[in-house]
A and B are shown apart, each in its own frame.
Chain A
Amino acid sequence: AQSVSQHNHHVILSEAASLELGCNYSYGGTVNLFWYVQYPGQHLQLLLKYFSGDPLVKGIKGFEAEFIKSKFSFNLRKPSVQWSDTAEYFCAVNAPGYSSASKIIFGSGTRLSIRP
Chain B
Amino acid sequence: DSGVTQTPKHLITATGQRVTLRCSPRSGDLSVYWYQQSLDQGLQFLIHYYNGEERAKGNILERFSAQQFPDLHSELNLSSLELGDSALYFCASSPQRGGTSGYNEQFFGPGTRLTVL
Contacts and interface: CB of A to CB of B under 8 A. Distances in A.
Contacts of B98: 101-103
Contact of B42 (A43, A44, A94, A106): A106
B99 interface: yes
B111 to A, nearest CB: 5
A108 interface: yes
A42 interface: yes
A101 B102 CA distance: 9
B: interface residue count bin: 20 to 34
A86 B106 CA distance: 23
A7 B46 CA distance: 24
Nearest to B42: A108
B32 to A, nearest CB: 11
Given A43-B90, A43-B110, A44-B90, A99 B56 contact: yes
A30 B21 CA distance: 34
B56 A46 contact: no
A98 B55 CA distance: 12
Interface string B63-106: 00000000000000000000000000010100000111111111
Interface of B: 2, 31, 33, 35, 42-43, 45, 48, 50, 55-56, 58, 90, 92, 98-111
